Amino acid sequence: MFNRYEELAKQKGYSVDKNGDVYNKSKKLKGTFNAVGYHVFKIRNQDGESVPVKTHRMQAYQKFGDEIYNDKIVVRHLNSINTDNTWDNIGIGTMGDNMMDQAEELRVKKASNAHKKISDELVLEIKLYHNAGHSYKEIMEKYNISSKGTVSYIINKR
């Protein structure tokens, strides 16, 4: 199954201009917003099904090509505004890079809220695991924690 929808959209004549507006071969498209706030437009895949293409990913595909499909690479909104799909605001990098695009206050808030889902018993286990010499990366993998900031908050502030 073809799931590189940005590549398929380009083959079908879709494009995103420098301002972040989407066009097919003949006109500007309106598109919609998905449940998490990303602008999307629809194309038909090889099976004739209507599939969503995220505008920021299409812009990144035009800018960086197949690099957007590399393992552990994400498309970034450099100013953290999901609706700003302009050429200069789209980049690629790691999830860590993407997190650092957010304002420090927001990163701290997310990290402090994430730890609330973790029981006191698990916090103790994580601290013991860390004290035994395990890295943040190992802790993140073992306990399914997606942010180094959350691990740091658990170890140092809880």
Range of the domain at 111: 104-157
Contact 17, 23 (CB under 8 A): yes
pLDDT one-digit tens code per residue, 4-36: 999 999 999 999 999 999 999 889 999 999 888
Whether 85 and 109 map to the same domain: the answer is: no
Between 115 and 74, residue with greater pLDDT? 74
Whether 34 and 96 map to the same domain: the answer is: yes
Helix (H) or strand (E) holding 63: helix 55-64
pLDDT at 91: 96
Strands of 2-158, DSSP E: 15-16, 22-23, 32-33, 39-44, 50-54, 74-77, 90-93
Number of domains composing the chain: 2
Q: What is the average pLDDT score of the chain? A: 89
pLDDT at 56: 97
Domain with residue 10: its CATH number is 3.90.75.20
pLDDT one-digit tens code per residue, 85-134: 999 999 999 988 888 888 888 777 776 665 567 788 888 889 998 999 99
